[in-house]
Amino acid sequence: MGIISFDGSTRQTLLPLTFTRPVADLRVGMLTIAQKWQRYLNQPVSYLTQEYLQTKFPLKIDDQNLLINGSVCPDEALLEAITNLQEGEVLKQQGFLIAAKVKASDVKNFQTINASFTGINYASAFVKISYPEDIFSKNDEELRKDFASLTKGKTSAKISQTNTILGDMFFAEEGAAAECATFNTRLGPVYLSKNSEVFEGANIRGSFFLGECSQVKMGAKIYSGTTIGPHCTVGGEIKNSVIWGYSSKGHEGYLGNSVLGEWCNIGADSNNSNLKNTYAEVKLWDYPTQKLRNTNLQFCGLIMADHAKCGINTMFNTGTVVGVSSNVFGAGYPPKFVPDFSWGGIKDTEIYAIKKALATAKLVFERKNRNFSEAEAEILKHIFELTNPTPLKLI
């Protein structure tokens, strides 16, 4: 039976993060949502997503298929309800489509014909990622679930005795290294992936995840609810934030209640505000409505899409959204919304020409020993056309 993740309506509300990936490729906790389902179901997951993403994220259809909403994170109760579905049945909660079991011919149009399917009501609570801020808001909960799943029946590798470990929720994979660091797991788990490294003087408070081949630099201060994906470098002060793969915040500066996509870079001594001076609830730019949306959160920082970067000493206001492949620099505060493929972002904003953006992306990939494929290039080209930044001057 095929296991297929479909985007659903949350794909729009999760922009700009979902311009470059299916919804289920969002990382929350230690794993992406697709990786979580793959562990629960012990089967690979394919994607029913936007056509321009399908080359990188292929769809595999079998005779029978279990389709799962990409915004939904698994748990044992939800797993049981979904695996008990019969062909032609859909699982819903208050009109929200959670999952369906369909034959091959119904896969690509099941969302338009699901009214004819038998509806099964699901009454229990579950974790759903509907907006960008949900990623950091629900990260601590997902970190704890993933830690329990990934460490079940396993024993942590040994790390240097120069480290101080408080509590017993610490796990290191073989090849993880740390010296003269402090790990406080009394409030939440700490997980170090293989070939990751924590430098001297770092202070880390769980819940915390460090991805494969990532580094925490000397003297870093990292607080609960933080995920650092694979092949990242981080330093300075970080709180309740999720940084996806191949991104860097390698220097001093504060990042709090934030999400950084892949291939991002934060310049030295850059900071974001995550609390308004008025203590009012924070509003974020909303792509579907093209206006600010109230998050109902008092703490909300920076949402930065893939391939975005900022210069040294950049100051991000509370609740700032930075689009795909934008380069933010200059004196003062950038606006709360920096459009995709922006160059500058503070004064005299221009368009980052697609040829230059692709050339930069290729160099960044090479720096991490990755191949910048034609599929990657076509995705960025499509997003450039999709966002249509024509009112701005091209550079």
pLDDT score recorded for residue 54 = 97
Range list for CATH 2.160.10.10 in the chain:
134-394
CATH of 2-130, one of 3.40.50.10190, 1.10.8.60, 3.90.550.10, 3.30.2350.10: 3.90.550.10
pLDDT score recorded for residue 394 = 53
**How crowded is residue 175: how many other Cβ atoms within 10 Å of its Cβ?**
14
pLDDT score recorded for residue 389 = 59
Range list for CATH 3.90.550.10 in the chain:
2-130
pLDDT score recorded for residue 145 = 97
How many Å apart are CA 185 and CA 143, to the nearest integer? 13
Whether the CB-CB separation of 377 and 358 falls below 8 Å is answered with: yes
Q: Which structure tokens are listed for 101?
A: 């079991």
pLDDT tens-place values along the chain, 395 residues long: 899 999 999 999 999 999 999 999 999 999 999 999 999 999 999 999 999 999 999 999 999 999 999 999 999 999 999 999 999 899 999 989 999 999 999 898 877 777 778 899 999 999 999 999 999 999 999 999 999 999 999 999 999 999 999 999 999 999 999 999 999 999 999 999 999 999 999 999 999 999 999 999 999 999 999 999 999 999 999 999 999 999 999 999 999 999 999 999 999 999 999 999 999 999 999 999 999 999 999 999 999 999 999 999 999 999 999 999 999 998 889 999 999 999 997 777 889 999 999 999 999 999 999 999 999 999 999 999 999 755 555 55
Residue 333 burial (10 A CB sphere; 0-12, 13-18, 19+): middle
pLDDT score recorded for residue 134 = 98
Kindly report the CATH number that applies to the domain delimited by 134-394: 2.160.10.10
Distance of alpha carbon 178 from the chain centroid: 25
